[in-house]
Amino acid sequence: MIALQENFTKQLSALNWENGFNPDVTKVERLAFFAELITKKNDYVNLISRRDVDSIIENHIFISSYITKYIPEKCGSFLDIGTGGGFPGIPLAIMRPEMKGILVDSTKKKADAVKDFVSKLKLGNVKVENDRVESPEFIERYSQYFDLIISRATVPLIILLRYSLPLIKEKAFVAAMKGGNLDDEFKKAELKYKSCIKKSTTFELSYKPSNIRNKKEKRLILLEINK
């Protein structure tokens, strides 16, 4: 598997270089090791689409690390809702080791797999929970705890905000990685939660060489929240 990890490191380094994104070598190697762990585990637990395994670096590892350039520096704690195979929470934890994170998924097999990844990657700044963020027990444990809630295409924005509000501090950020046309989804969320959305920014996640004009419609929605 050394050859596989080396291949992943080369792919990731090439994407980073083409896009002027320069994480240090240790972080790139750690992300490549994570890609190897996912690839091996995916034979037993469905963490990513099987047809996506060959493009794991571009579609999962690179994009999940690339978004960290848009995460405000002042964020110190984060919650990854519906982490699945550890996206984007593990790349975020690798790229921003000063942040403390909780990665949560309601499917036990996925949560157990991510716990194993965190252990093998020796990530001391995150822990994994098998739970639902809307459960009273979870809310009680983490009420008004997080600076940042992040999620990758799990639920509509209006639901993500409903889940987030009990768990974030008075001033915080909600970030969603999403694709497609988000106009209607955003209008519904803004209509219900307009009073607490201080600012919204949409980042088009275009990148070279295969998504120069963002034809793949990858976006990061970042909402600044004042409760």
Burial class for 67, CB neighbours closer than 10 Å (0-12, 13-18, 19+): buried
User: Over the stretch 76-116, which tens digit does the pLDDT of each residue have?
Assistant: 999 999 999 999 999 999 999 999 999 999 999 999 999 99
User: pLDDT tens digit string along 159-181?
Assistant: 999 999 999 999 999 999 998 88
Before 209, cis peptide (omega within 30)?
Answer: yes
Tell me, yes or no, whether 163 lies in a domain.
yes
pLDDT category of residue 24 using cuts at 50, 70 and 90? very high
Question: Is 19 inside any structural domain?
Answer: no
Does residue 174 lie in a domain region? yes
Query: Is the Cβ–Cβ distance between 122 and 55 less than 8 Å?
Result: no
Domain ranges, residue 149:
69-226
Domain membership of residue 181 (yes or no) is yes
In this structure, is residue 35 part of a structural domain? no
Q: Nearest 5 degrees, angle CA 150-CA 44-CA 108?
A: 45
pLDDT of 183: 85
Rounded to whole angstroms, the Cα distance separating 31 from 27 reads 6
Report how far Cα 106 is from the mean position of its chain's Cα atoms: 16
| Domain of residue 90, CATH code | 3.40.50.150
Residue 54 lies in a domain: no
Reply yes or no on whether the pLDDT at 2 is more than 70.
no
Domain count, the chain: 1
Phi and psi torsions of 154, nearest 5° = -90, -50
89 domain-assigned? yes
Q: Is 93 a domain residue?
A: yes
Tens digit of pLDDT for each residue in 44-74?
999 998 888 899 999 999 999 999 999 999 9
- Please tell me whether the peptide bond between 88 and the residue prior to it is cis, using omega within 30 degrees of 0: yes
